[in-house]
Amino acid sequence: MKVLLINGSPRKGGNTHIALSEVAKTLNENGVETEIVSIGAKAMQGCIACNRCRELERCVFQDELYDRIRKQLEDGIDGLIVGSPTYYAGPNGSLCALLDRVFYSSSDLMKYKPAAAVTVCRRGGASATLDRLNKYFTISGMPVASSQYWNSIHGRMPGESEQDGEGKQTMRTLARNMTFLMKSIALGKEQFGLPEREERIATHFIR
């Protein structure tokens, strides 16, 4: 099994990386392969709602990070974890620009794959950031993995989250729960198959 972890922080080796590394280490200990990809500090193209992805089956804009994530999805990852620092009680804007494109163009590749968000904050706003990120998962048919607390860790300056013992334990518990969820889904798929899917009904709120 393999889990892809997306680091939505522009800082290399910062607190978001520490949190995701704690998750990845525990996943590895439980026999799950992991890869962490970082968004970095470069400008990220957002979605322009051109709907060309419906024709191309991928985003019309080509950039290295989108292509890397898309390839992982096509190759068949078993789970996805997205980490982000907290900016004004929300995720990094560049991360959201990337996720808008990835999820809009690739949601069919994500159904029934467990997912989780991880957030980092100095003091507050982490739960609002988690809520924003979880919406990508729940609209895409992805079961959301839980932990012993909300998936947040605290730290302002690079490296400070190493001191958050409860936060790091929350990351390890998340990894174990995600491993259990992925294995349970794989077993259920083998024995019972996937849930029946109806043809999509799209209702627009106009008269």
Instruction: With cut-offs at 50, 70 and 90, classify the pLDDT of residue 207.
Output: low
Q: By the 8 A CB rule, do 60 and 52 touch?
A: yes
pLDDT at 40: 92
Torsion of CA 10, 46, 67, 56, to 10 degrees: 170
Predicted confidence (pLDDT) per residue in 179-202, tens digit: 999 999 999 999 999 999 899 888
Q: How far is the C-alpha of 133 from the C-alpha of 172, rounded, in Å?
A: 20
pLDDT at 200: 87
Mean pLDDT estimate for the chain: 95
Whether 205 shows a pLDDT value over 90: the answer reads: no
Predicted confidence (pLDDT) per residue in 52-101, tens digit: 999 999 999 989 999 999 999 999 999 999 999 999 999 999 999 999 99
pLDDT at 73: 95
Please list, in sequence order, all residues whose beta carbon lies within 8 angstroms of the beta carbon of residue 195, skipping any fewer than 6 positions away. Answer: none
pLDDT at 202: 85
- In this structure, how many other beta carbons lie within 10 angstroms of the beta carbon of residue 75? 10
Q: By the 8 A CB rule, do 9 and 16 touch?
A: yes
Whether 156 shows a pLDDT value over 70: the answer reads: yes
User: What separation, in Å, do the N-terminal and C-terminal C-alpha atoms of the chain show?
Assistant: 48
Mean of pLDDT values over 137-160: 96
Cβ burial 176-206 (10 Å sphere, 16+ → b, else e): bbbbebbeebeeeeeeeeeeeeeeeeeeeee
pLDDT at 25: 98
**Of the candidates 35, 158, 155, 16, the residue with the CA atom closest to the CA atom of residue 95:** 16
Mean of pLDDT values over 10-15: 94
Mean of pLDDT values over 108-129: 96
Whether 206 shows a pLDDT value over 80: the answer reads: no
pLDDT at 63: 92
